[in-house]
A = this chain, B = another copy of it.
Amino acid sequence: MNDVSIIGIGKTDVSEHWETSLRHLSWYAIEAALDDAATTQVDALYVGNMLAGRLSQQDHLGALVADFAGLRGIEAVTVEAADASGGAAMRQAVLAVKSGLVETALVVGVEKVTDETGSTVTEAAATGLDADYEMAHGLTLAGAAALMMRRYMFEYGVTLADFAGFSVNAHRNGADNPLAMFRNRLKAERFTAGPAVAEPVSLFDMAPLGDGAAAVVVTGSERAKDMVPQPIRVLGSALSTDTIGLHDRQNVLWLAAAARSTAAAMAQAGVSHEEIDLFELHDSYTIMAALSLEAAGFAAPGEGWQLARDGAIEREGQIPISTCGGLKARGNPLGATGVYQIVEVAQQLRGQAGDCQVPDAKIGMAQNLATTGATAVTHVLAC
């Protein structure tokens, strides 16, 4: 696959944007992306969002954001797949452009977690789990991650300290990203001393939820070449699902949706693991980073954590991850996260990642997961 390209990217910082509304956040990211693409001609808008209905009492973001961004009248819808909404919105834009019915598509991922008018963000985010079989018993996203992490520690004989490398790497990279939510470094020896959120998941293990928006403009590759100096090609795009509830899986330590969507996207792209220069994975919790590396085929089951221990995930390592801070340090704006990942990979491939730059990055992969991996969206991009 080689016929859809990214021609514009934009994003806000991830933070607690108390003074900025959902529509303004969206617009800031869109304005940056349209400026970057040097166009205002957009045919369709795909909004990735998870919680605006519950937290801001605002659904129907397609019409709202299109109009507020000066694009009144265009095709516009919201795409939702819990915290994989951003990646899923990107996927719809790729399908739309590939269909030939939409020439230029805009994707914006936006989340405003500081609007807690209807419920707390912890309650609201838990709607991504199985309401009848998980949430009804009080399970939260952190609780679900804790179940997976505890099982991993038991199965493979590792300890909490063995996950430290993921957070240390993320914070080291985030310190170089001016738009990151947390720019402080984290010492490995401090990692295990984090206050517990849901044991063994601690504050230093879990990505912080934040407000933010990121946007991407895509169009056909032939057209893209004439429009911008550095179009980024979408070589692979795949979305896959798994059981929504953990209890229905044969193996809770195997992210089947991530494995399927990685294999499909890499096959479309025709690239091998060795050719991938960076992998923006979904490090909502360190356990999810370890399991993602395993499902994507960069490590054998039970060995994902070793890539963190050995430094392979660092920017100069074998398979750099969280190169701009990842969810852990850049921040996790839920339904916007998947679009941040695409923007960050595109920056790397353009050589515009500043202090976060991975040397000589030519091919990058972004993978957005929902909850315990029940939805996985994978994109392979190339310069």
Contact = CB atoms under 8 A, between A and B. Distances in A.
A370 B260 contact: no
A332 interface: no
Given A79-B79, A92-B77, A244 B60 contact: yes
Interface in A63-83: 63-64, 66-67, 72-82
Contact of A54 (B54, B72, B81, B238): B54
Interface in A34-73: 44, 50-51, 53-54, 56-64, 66-67, 72-73
Interface in A92-106: 92, 94-96, 98-102
Contacts of A54: 53-54, 118
Interface string A278-310: 000000000000000000000000000000000
Interface residues of A, number: 68
Interface in A230-261: 237-244, 248, 256-257, 260
Contacts of A51: 53
A240 B74 contact: yes
27 contacts: A53-B127, A54-B118, A57-B131, A58-B127, A58-B130, A58-B135, A59-B128, A60-B128, A60-B371, A61-B80, A63-B242, A63-B244, A63-B257, A63-B370, A63-B374, A64-B130, A64-B244, A66-B241, A67-B241, A73-B257, A74-B241, A75-B91, A75-B238, A75-B241, A77-B375, A95-B96, A95-B102
A21 interface: yes
A128 B58 CA distance: 6
A101 B128 CA distance: 27
Contacts of A101: 1, 94-95, 98, 237
Nearest to A89: B77
A63 B80 contact: no
A132 interface: yes
A59 B50 contact: yes
Interface in A190-206: none
Contacts of A266: none
Contacts of A96: 95, 99
A88 interface: yes
A120 interface: no
Contacts of A375: 60, 62-63, 76-77
A119 interface: yes
B88 A244 contact: no
A128 B62 CA distance: 10
Contact of A79 (B57, B78, B127, B256): B78
Contacts of A99: 94-96, 98-99
B81 A62 contact: yes
A314 to B, nearest CB: 33
Contact of A127 (B59, B80, B92, B124): B59
Given A80-B59, A131-B57, A73 B370 contact: no
Given A63-B242, A67-B243, A95-B95, A77 B75 contact: no
Contacts of A82: 59-60, 63
